[in-house]
Amino acid sequence: MLRERSRYNDRMDDGDRPASTDRLFATAERHLVDFAFDEAVAAAFPDMIRRSVPGYETVVPLTGLIAAKHLRPGGRCYDLGCSLGATAHAVLAAIGQRPCEITAVDDSAAMLHRARQLAGTEPRLQWRRADIRELAFESADVVILNYTLQFLPPEDRLPLLRRLRDCLNDGGVLLLSEKLDEHGYFADLHLDFKRANGYSELEIAGKRTALENVMRTDAEETHLARLRTAGFPAPRVWFRCLNWASFVASPESQPTAERVQRP
């Protein structure tokens, strides 16, 4: 099933509306301002995230696969901080024709504009421009927060997780991916990963400065402890690549999804 390509991937790759190469920090002009999810970032985003986040191309389809295990026919899935909707499309690719409602939310107009262009017509997918801290959540089987929590002010993270826990149905699951606050071996290797993907020292340093006030990472233990406090008794790491991790958390002590029948 992971071999199935989504229409989204086809559009990203076939030159239909080609994504641009990320050269945003190759000159100094962006180095002095805080990072923002604007039009230039949206245009270069697929290239940027693949070259910057180790494991991204594994995490996205596997998030879809895990979501499919919990998303019941007619159930709801949130993709919070959806950017261009890669994860929402991975969920659709994983569930086949099963009816469901996927609500993909982002507060960046530029991201959502491009996401809509890439998406084509898919009645099960709705786009919403909103700050996820202010959104009233309806009951859901799956909530995905891939690489988004790290952009919220730290004091807003636990209240959001508590609200997400409250909206999850029995058998539901929260899927969270983040960069971890780590120094040393894995953090150094992450820099090597970026260099190996063609980023210069200027680009790496410039992006780090731009993200300083915007993206504040937590340690793996901080995530696990906060998830427990929010009402997820036994959160687990399901993927780890260098200083990046993906967590699965359920309101029960074990994720209890039954195998959902594929149509």
Minimum CB separation of residue 68 from ligand GEK in Å reads 16
As a whole number of angstroms, the distance between CA 109 and CA 194 comes to: 28
Q: How far is the CB of 111 from ligand GEK (least distance, A)?
A: 4
- 195: tokens are 């260099």
Structure tokens at 244: 């990046």
Which of 235-240's residues contact partners 24+ apart within 8 Å by CB, and which partners? Answer: 238/62, 238/66, 239/55, 239/58, 239/59, 239/62, 239/177
Q: Which residues bind ligand GEK (CB under 6 A)?
A: 37, 49, 60, 81-83, 86-87, 105-108, 111, 131-133, 146-148, 151-152
- Give the CB-nearest residue to ligand GEK: 81
- Least distance (Å) between residue 165 CB and ligand GEK: 18
Closest to ligand GEK by CB, 150 vs 171, is 150
CB of residue 142 vs ligand GEK: minimum separation in angstroms? 14
CA distances from 95 to 43, 64, 105, 142, 248 (A): 28, 8, 20, 13, 19
Q: Nearer Cβ to ligand GEK, position 246 or 250?
A: 246
Which CB atom, from 83 or from 171, has the smaller least distance to ligand GEK? 83
Pick 13 or 131: Cβ nearer ligand GEK: 131
Helix, strand, coil tally for the chain in percent (to 5):
40, 20, 40
